[in-house]
């Protein structure tokens, strides 16, 4: 194992102290600029709307390796649910506590420390290194990474490899990485009926009753079989509402919200068409609005996953698992301009919770894994 030199903890604590509730960066990116500029990184602020974005690059040669992450955090919630102030990094029981400790300020701290050690050891390394950092991942994600990726694509500055520092480990650091994510497609359905008195059902048309057979079919539908990397696509109803609140009124309309988490085995268009076909087959009068939250992305086994898996094995002794489970991330935007995108970071058990934390014993090993991956993909010239 490597000897620690640049402290991940000191960087993480500095970032946690900055109360960067989305989309407010609160100076986190200024802190990174101060550290990266000293290493020869060209730091470019790329704000969009009220969101702070940073693109920092060292070198011009290929291949281009990117660390990507977000400085924004979710709100901490009621202070009484925390055992210590959420923006005062606190050591307790072998953990470092604070909002963003796991998601994902410790990963950014490990990026920074890994790059600092790597550049000092390998000043003439091949290729280039960059950091893509946003303050709009936990929010709508309209003005963050997606905007930077569009700008990079427009000027032909395309990454070859990217590690997104999402907390992907489950029980032990390094036991899982994400080589893809499912897409998210939401539907907002309005089914039209006819309002009336419950005592005179022949004069009304109850949209709840009308939808029920179609909803049963939607819930039982097998949308696809998944593939080597993805489980089958899932359909879930998240909200359903009808009625005026009175017990003697047949409602005139029903509204339902639902969501698909879909794999690369299905497309957005296929899912939309199949849902609408089922609704029409049941003779419903309806309107349906669709929102694509994110397309699925997949990085098949290749140089990046091999290098990262080897680095994890060297540092922890674990054989990591490739997975595509979980929600969406900014990896979906980066995958549009980068052929190999992998998410990897600390244990995710406490993210978005009160008393969020990271194991102190995992912080330096996380840095070593990132640094070793750089060494494998950007070696010194022969």
Based on the residue annotation, tell me whether 25 is a catalytic residue of this protein: no
Based on the residue annotation, tell me whether 224 is a catalytic residue of this protein: no
CB 324 within 8 A of CB 230: yes
Q: Which of 13, 25, 72, 330 is catalytic?
A: 72
Is 103 part of any known ligand binding site? Answer: yes
Q: Which of 137, 253, 343, 356 is catalytic?
A: 137
Calculate ∠ Cα 336-366-111, nearest 5°. Answer: 50
For residues 150 and 127, give the distance between their C-alpha atoms in angstroms, rounded to a whole number.
22
Q: Is 326 helix (H, G, I), strand (E, B) or coil?
A: coil
For residues 333 and 330, give the distance between their C-alpha atoms in angstroms, rounded to a whole number.
5
Is 70 part of any known ligand binding site? Answer: yes
CB 356 within 8 A of CB 97: yes
What one-character DSSP code corresponds to residue 60? S
Pick from 230, 236, 321, 315: nearest CA to 275: 236
Is 166 part of any known ligand binding site? Answer: yes
* Locus of tokens 């912080």: 363
Three-state SS string over 261-312 comes to EECCCCCHHHHHHHHHHHHHHCCCCEEEEEEEEECCEECCCCHHHHHHHHHH
Binding residues: 70, 103, 138, 166, 352
Task: State the binding site for Zn(2+).
Answer: 70, 103, 138, 166, 352
Catalytic residues: 72, 137
């Amino acid at each position: 194992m490597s000897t620690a030199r640049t402290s991940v903890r000191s960087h993480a604590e500095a970032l946690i102290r900055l109360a960067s509730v989305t989309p407010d960066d609160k100076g986190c990116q200024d802190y990174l600029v101060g550290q990266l500029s000293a290493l020869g990184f060209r730091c470019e602020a790329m704000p969009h709307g009220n969101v702070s974005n940073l693109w920092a690059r060292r070198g011009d040669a290929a291949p281009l390796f990117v660390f990507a992450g977000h400085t924004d955090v979710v709100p901490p919630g009621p202070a009484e649910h925390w055992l210590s102030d959420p923006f005062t990094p606190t050591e307790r029981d072998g953990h470092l506590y604070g909002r963003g400790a796991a998601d994902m300020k410790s990963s950014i701290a490990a990026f920074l420390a890994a790059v600092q050690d790597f550049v000092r050891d390998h000043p003439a390394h091949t290729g280039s290194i960059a950091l893509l950092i946003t303050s709009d991942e936990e929010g709508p994600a309209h003005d963050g990474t997606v905007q930077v990726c569009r700008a990079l694509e427009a000027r032909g500055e395309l990454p070859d490899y990217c590690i997104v520092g999402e907390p992907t480990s489950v029980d032990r650091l390094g036991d899982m990485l994400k080589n893809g994510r499912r897409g998210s497609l939401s539907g907002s359905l309005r089914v039209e009926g006819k309002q009336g008195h419950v005592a005179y059902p022949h004069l009304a048309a109850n949209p709840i009753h009308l939808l029920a057979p179609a909803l049963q079919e939607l819930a039982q539908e097998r949308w696809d079989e998944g593939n080597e990397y993805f489980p089958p696509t899932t359909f879930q109803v998240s909200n359903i509402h009808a009625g005026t609140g009175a017990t003697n009124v047949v409602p005139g309309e029903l509204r339902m919200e639902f969501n698909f988490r879909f794999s690369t085995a299905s497309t957005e268009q296929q899912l939309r068409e199949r849902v609408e076909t089922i609704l029409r087959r049941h003779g419903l009068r309806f309107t349906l609005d669709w929102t694509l939250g994110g397309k699925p992305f997949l990085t098949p086994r290749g140089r990046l996953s091999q290098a990262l898996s080897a680095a994890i094995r060297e540092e922890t002794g674990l054989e990591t698992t490739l997975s595509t489970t979980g929600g969406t991330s900014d990896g979906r935007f980066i995958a549009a301009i980068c052929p190999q995108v992998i998410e990897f970071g600390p244990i995710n058990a406490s993210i978005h919770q009160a008393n969020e934390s990271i194991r102190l014993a995992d912080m330096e090993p996380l840095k070593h894994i990132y640094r070793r991956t750089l060494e494998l993909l950007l070696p010194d010239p022969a």
